[in-house]
């Protein structure tokens, strides 16, 4: 019932993880590893995902930038749309996540930016922009979410992904209850990502800010 948290996997946002955060492996299945760690001053755990994906950098970015189709593979996404394209590598987008009764759906606005840190290494950062759009009736706006992807191209069709997220879903969902289900959403989303990235519409994607 608490899958709302894991839509935030499509919100790559910067988070600084200090040395005192000791990662604990919680799930290791189908080449996807999910870790969690306690974070200071929060009841919600940090989440880290590590996996390999058979794809090119541009192919993966094309999948992530195809915002209108997130509902087809991102865990419990009800709808999503681009709010504003800031450049070829940066945008603001909106997403609503379905949450079972008696809880309200969550929604968020994310500011997403892709940077090439070094040849064949991309970072994707994003953060919540809760006041960019007016609040929607019967939805709880996610006001805090910070996460960060590092995507390393190991060969022409092999990517290593590390993803870290820090979040607060808002509303009256107890932290201990969220933490019980914290590995389910990341696992399902990345499992779907590994399959969906091979869609024909992403195979020949090209971005000027990516050198491959």
**Residue 31 CA from chain centroid, whole number:** 18
What pLDDT does 200 receive?
A: 95
**Structural domains of the chain, count:** 1
Q: Is residue 211 included in any domain, yes or no?
A: no
Q: Is residue 206 included in any domain, yes or no?
A: no
**pLDDT tens by residue, 17-51:** 443 458 999 999 999 999 989 877 777 778 999 99
Q: 121-152: buried (b, 16+ CB within 10 Å) or exposed (e) per residue?
A: ebbbbbbbbbeeeeeeeebbbbebbbbbbebe
The whole-angstrom separation of Cα 110 and Cα 125 is 10
For residue 134, pLDDT over 90 is answered with yes
Q: Is residue 142 included in any domain, yes or no?
A: yes
Q: Tell me the CATH number at 63.
A: 3.30.530.20
Q: Is residue 67 included in any domain, yes or no?
A: yes
Q: Is residue 173 included in any domain, yes or no?
A: yes
Q: Is residue 208 included in any domain, yes or no?
A: no
Contact call for residues 24 and 167 (beta carbons, < 8 A): no
Under the banding of pLDDT at 50, 70 and 90, the label for residue 4 is very low
For residue 57, pLDDT over 80 is answered with yes
Q: Is residue 131 included in any domain, yes or no?
A: yes
Quote the pTM value: 0.84
**pLDDT tens by residue, 83-101:** 999 999 999 999 998 877 7
Q: Name the residue range of residue 155's domain.
A: 3-200
For the record, the structure tokens of 139 come out as 């939805």
For residue 77, pLDDT over 80 is answered with yes
What pLDDT does 67 receive?
A: 96
Q: Is residue 110 included in any domain, yes or no?
A: yes
């Amino acid at each position: 019932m608490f899958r709302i948290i894991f839509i935030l996997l499509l919100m790559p946002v910067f988070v600084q993880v200090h040395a005192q955060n000791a990662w604990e492996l919680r799930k290791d299945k189908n080449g996807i590893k999910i870790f969690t760690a306690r974070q200071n001053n929060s009841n919600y755990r940090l989440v880290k995902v590590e996996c390999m994906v058979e794809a090119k950098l541009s192919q993966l970015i094309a999948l992530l930038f195809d915002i209108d189709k997130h509902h087809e593979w991102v865990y419990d996404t009800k709808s999503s749309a681009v709010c504003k394209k800031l450049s070829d590598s940066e945008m603001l987008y909106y997403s609503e996540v379905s949450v079972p009764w008696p809880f309200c759906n969550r929604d968020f606005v994310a500011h997403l930016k892709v940077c090439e840190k070094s040849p064949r290494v991309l970072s994707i950062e994003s953060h919540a922009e809760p006041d960019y759009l007016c609040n929607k009736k019967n939805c709880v706006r996610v006001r805090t979410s910070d996460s960060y992807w590092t995507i390393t191209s190991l060969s022409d069709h092999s990517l290593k992904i590390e993803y870290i997220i820090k979040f607060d879903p808002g509303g009256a969902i107890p932290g201990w209850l969220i933490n019980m289900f914290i590995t389910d959403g990341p696992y399902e989303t990345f499992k779907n990502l590994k399959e969906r990235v091979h869609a024909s519409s992403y195979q020949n994607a090209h971005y000027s800010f990516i050198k491959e």
